[in-house]
Amino acid sequence: MPGGKAASMLDRQRDIRLDFFRGLALFIIYVVHAPMNPWTDYTPGKFGFSDTAEIFVFCSGAASAIAFGRIFDVRGFWAGTARVLQRCWQVYWAHIGLFVSVLGSMILVDRWLDQGNAFVRGLHLEPFVSGDAASAIVGLMTLTYVPMLLDILPLYVVLLAMIPIVMALSRIHPAAVFAFIALAWAGANAGLLELPGEPWSEKSWFFNPFAWQLIFFSGFVLVRGWVPAIPINTRAFKIALLLLVLAIPFAHEPTAAQWKILSDARTGLAPFIDKSHVGPLRYAHFLLLVYVAASLAGPNGINLRRWADAGPIGAAVVGAITTVGSRALPVFVAGVMLSVFTGVALNLVGSNVLTIPAVNILSFAGMIGVAYLSRWYKRPPWSKASGKSSHAQPAEGPSAQTTAGTSMPSPVAPGDRARPSADLQKLGDT
């Protein structure tokens, strides 16, 4: 692959913007997943054509470029492929474990409350407690049964598996990468590329990975330097923000329902804002959102750092959000479990001005706790590596420094280049 820009990525640490916005997305994903949670009505997806799923996938693609791209550059194609496949294996078993945990928890709740299979049915998991459980188990293990709420991690497995293909094509020319991304997206939207979502029906995956790779690799190619970053300026920011505001009446269903012209327009736009296949207008809306978010964060996330440096409250908020974003897999798993139990709790105690904030805030605290605990286990006091200099660790909070004028954080100390294997392992958690 081309030297200059790729080589400049070899010793990059985490970007605070990726972790911050991925952390925010994880909190919002929890809210959206929680049944009977009225806070869902105030999430970004209710006011725009794109939502937090795009934010999470885009940031994960960018983080993967930092973590896995470095291994491809330093260790070679086969070592990079092996590391990606290892991560696919980890995410696959995280999905299986999460699925079984959710199913088992709902079976226990149904028995505890003597509800038959009410909560199991509420999450569309009844095939596992019916006479066709064998087909459901086979579908679970082969990812041909991917129910709603539990479909993000299978998507991530397939997206990760595409990284070696993209890295191989990049050795020919970045244009080959763009052709692959465009053709896969077009094939998905033409109905040519679908994955089965249920063994007993024609249902496909809700998140078509051949379409959603467009979002994932948008972040990936941007970090790899295969496309130039759009300069941030006040005029472009205002135009992007205005376009996002103008989309609100069409995207906000209660508003559109009150005006026939808006509801008719929304119906006509349906194929272009399709979530399953990342409709073109949906993608354009997301790119505008990325530009606005990047502008607000400032070059290299300087505004986020200023917020963190403004006082203890800012430091705590930014630190918590970025830590959540840096520990995405364990926090996502915890968030799904907490969202399920939020639905159970609200069903039992009812939704009111006290219970709704209580369950949401307690769940946020739980996700933050899981993030900090996961980070602690990453380098516990009994580990020999824990006593080493911290500059080899990925930046997980607001204190990481960045290089002025670049889109990624600063390189690690030159001395670390003599022992890349430890650094590669530490950068591998996306």
Could you read off the pLDDT of 215-243 as tens digits, one per residue?
Answer: 999 999 999 989 888 888 899 999 999 99
Residue 115 has pLDDT above 80, yes or no: no
pLDDT band for position 385 (50/70/90)? Answer: low
Could you read off the pLDDT of 257-310 as tens digits, one per residue?
Answer: 888 888 888 888 888 999 999 999 999 999 999 999 999 988 888 888 888 888
Instruction: Give the best-scoring range by mean pLDDT among 33-37, 179-183, 391-395, 400-404.
Output: 179-183
pTM (whole model) above 0.85: no
Diameter of the chain measured on Cα atoms? 66
Burial of 396 (0-12, 13-18, 19+ CB in 10 A): buried
> According to the model, what pLDDT value does residue 422 have?
37
User: How far apart are alpha carbons 102 and 343 in whole angstroms?
Assistant: 12
> According to the model, what pLDDT value does residue 404 have?
35
User: How far apart are alpha carbons 213 and 162 in whole angstroms?
Assistant: 8
Mean pLDDT of 116-122: 78
> According to the model, what pLDDT value does residue 418 have?
34
Residue 409 has pLDDT above 50, yes or no: no
The average confidence (pLDDT) of the chain is 83
> According to the model, what pLDDT value does residue 137 have?
87
The residue ranges of every structural domain in the chain are 4-380
User: How far apart are alpha carbons 8 and 43 in whole angstroms?
Assistant: 37
Residue 10 has pLDDT above 70, yes or no: no
Mean pLDDT of 397-415: 36
User: How far apart are alpha carbons 91 and 154 in whole angstroms?
Assistant: 8
More confident: 131 or 146: 146
Which DSSP state fits 394?
P
Q: Give the residue ranges of DSSP H helices in 310-389.
A: 312-326, 328-349, 355-378
Which DSSP state fits 196?
B
The three state secondary structure string of 23-85 is HHHHHHHHHHHCCCCHHHHHCHHHCCCCCHHHHHHHHHHHHHHHHHHHHHHHHCHHHHHHHHH
The three state secondary structure string of 169-193 is HHHHCHHHHHHHHHHHHHHHHCCCC
Answer for the pair 48, 279: CB distance below 8 angstroms, yes or no: no
Residue 136 has pLDDT above 80, yes or no: yes
CB atoms within 10 A of CB 336: 22
Residue 368 has pLDDT above 50, yes or no: yes
Could you read off the pLDDT of 44-96 as tens digits, one per residue?
Answer: 889 989 988 999 999 999 999 998 988 999 999 999 999 999 999 999 999 99
